Amino acid sequence: MEKILNVGVVGCGYWGPNLIRNFRGLSDCRMKTMCDLSEDRLKHLNSLYPEIEAESSYEKMLKDSDLDVVVVATAVKFHYPLAKASLLAGKHTFIEKPLASSSAQCEELIEIAEKQGLVLMVGHTFLYSPPIQKIKEIVDAGDIGEIRYISARRLNLGLFQKDINVAWDLAPHDISIILHIMGERPLSVNCTGNAHVTPGVEDVTSMSLQFKNERSAIIQSSWLDPRKIREMTIVGSKRMIVYDDISAQEKIKIFDTRVERPPHYDTLAEFHYAYHYGDIYSPYVQQSEPLKTECQHFIDCIKEGKTPLTSGMKGMEVVRILEASSESLKKGGAAVGLPQSEEQLNGNMSSEVESSTG
């Protein structure tokens, strides 16, 4: 008989209860323990799920030999120490986005997981959503031609953070989607922003990613917008896609629209751009809860010994971009280059780990 994996969730504030609910609903694992420093939060969740053990000591939870899996859903500054302790205790570990506060921390977690033979996964939930899976399918099939640029807007009023800026809070979603669709790392990052409410913590940012072949992506993030907006536009040489996550129906719209430059002309009077306006259509997208799909994928990867779609390495790529955005903010929006080759990546990782461990 196949072993049922026992799961523990640490962090029962904003997002933790959603993870508890979804892991509890899976048939091939058991939601065993929920851990939080707040006795009130534990008491509330215990009233909803009386069969799940409530534990205020993380150290005690990790000593449970029956626990196979730890899910970290705390503030970002705690991701690294809690995940490191979990991996060293021999537990498969799932970490909410972003993976850690620095790429050096990400690298260390990846190395520990590999040495321990454990699955490390980051919660880039949107990659498990049917609309993003459909968009990836459309792009890979060549239906929109070559991608020219991607524009993303993730705006709302709050939730204000004190330890990370809005780019670290909201942009990981868009960065993970853009990397997934583009299928490559950006060459450089530019980022500008302002801190209007909490000094030193930007609540509005605009990030630009430059890719090969003059392709780019722009990400706008804000905690200061009166409307909740979750929108992405993917402009191709043949067609364009608009993805609106807020829309109850027709989350994806494909515009058969493009502009073409004339191949040759003799005089300026003969120069005319060719505009093509075609139909707008919305492909059928099957509805399912991305978080449930993500949780199931994590359990499947543990049981089958597979690398997750949102592996530790994928999580580190996102954190590298966030680090570069922070550096660019300090430099007034100047471009910050990113490593491209595996040699560069590994070289940078080694030096960063050495400097972080002193």
For 70-82, what is each residue's pLDDT tens digit? 999 999 999 999 9
Residue 295's pLDDT band (cuts 50, 70, 90)? very high
| Phi, psi (rounded to 5 degrees) for 160 | -70, 135
Burial classification of residue 70, based on how many CB atoms lie within 10 Å of its CB (0-12 exposed, 13-18 middle, 19 or more buried): buried
Count of CB atoms within 10 A of residue 226's CB?
8
Check residue 349 and give its pLDDT: 45
Q: Does the predicted TM-score (pTM) go above 0.85?
A: yes
Average pLDDT for residues 210-224, to the nearest whole number? 97
Burial classification of residue 184, based on how many CB atoms lie within 10 Å of its CB (0-12 exposed, 13-18 middle, 19 or more buried): exposed
* pLDDT over threshold 60, residue 65: yes
Average pLDDT for residues 4-32, to the nearest whole number? 97
Check residue 71 and give its pLDDT: 98
The number of angstroms, rounded, from the C-alpha of 286 to the middle of its chain's C-alpha atoms is: 22
Check residue 352 and give its pLDDT: 42
Check residue 350 and give its pLDDT: 45
Check residue 343 and give its pLDDT: 54
For all residues of the chain together, what is the average pLDDT?
92
Using a pLDDT cut of 90, give the percent of the chain over it.
83
pLDDT in tens, 129-158: 999 999 999 999 999 999 999 999 999 998
Radius of gyration of the chain (CA): 22
* Residues 6+ away with beta carbon under 8 Å from 108: 80, 84, 353, 356
Check residue 161 and give its pLDDT: 86
pLDDT in tens, 340-349: 765 555 554 4
Average pLDDT for residues 285-314, to the nearest whole number? 96
Coil, helix or strand at residue 314: helix
Q: Show the domains of the chain with their CATH numbers.
A: 125-358 (3.30.360.10)
Residue 266's pLDDT band (cuts 50, 70, 90)? low
* pLDDT over threshold 60, residue 267: no
Check residue 162 and give its pLDDT: 85
**Which of 3-12, 16-25, 30-39, 271-280 shows the lowest mean pLDDT across its residues?**
271-280
* pLDDT over threshold 60, residue 302: yes
Check residue 271 and give its pLDDT: 55
Check residue 263 and give its pLDDT: 67
* pLDDT over threshold 80, residue 277: no
Count of CB atoms within 10 A of residue 66's CB?
9
pLDDT in tens, 158-197: 888 888 999 999 999 999 999 999 999 999 999 999 999 9
The number of angstroms, rounded, from the C-alpha of 300 to the middle of its chain's C-alpha atoms is: 20
